[in-house]
C-alpha cells in the first residue's frame, strides 16, 4: 500500500476526470479507483514501459490484485 500512496495522485487519460489520491490503506474506494485507472491507461495506451512511475504503478496494482484475488480464492476452497 505504501507504494500507491507514494505515487498519488493517479490521473486518467480517458473519460474519467480528476485525480485519485490515496492517503491511507483504509481508502478502499480510492485504491479500487486508482487500480481501475491504471488498468484503463495500460490497456488504452496511457502507460509507457519506459516511464519509471508507470512501471511502479503497474507493479503496485499487480501486487494488490495478486493478494486480493489470492485471498478470495482461499475463501472459495
pLDDT in tens, 19-72: 888 888 888 888 888 888 888 888 887 777 888 888 888 898 899 889 888 888
pLDDT at 1: 45
Integer CA distances (angstroms), 64 to 17, 18, 32, in order: 23, 22, 10
The pTM of this model reads 0.71
- Which residue's entry shows cell 516511464? 51
Rg of the Cα atoms in the chain: 13
Amino acid at each position: 500500500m505504501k507504494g500507491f500512496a507514494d505515487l498519488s495522485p493517479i490521473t486518467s487519460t480517458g473519460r474519467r476526470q480528476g485525480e485519485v489520491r490515496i492517503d491511507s490503506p483504509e481508502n478502499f474506494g480510492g485504491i479500487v479507483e486508482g487500480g481501475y485507472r491504471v488498468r484503463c491507461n495500460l490497456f488504452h495506451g496511457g502507460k509507457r514501459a519506459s516511464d519509471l512511475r508507470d512501471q511502479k504503478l503497474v507493479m503496485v496494482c499487480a501486487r494488490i490484485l495478486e493478494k486480493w484475488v489470492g485471498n478470495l480464492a482461499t475463501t472459495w476452497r
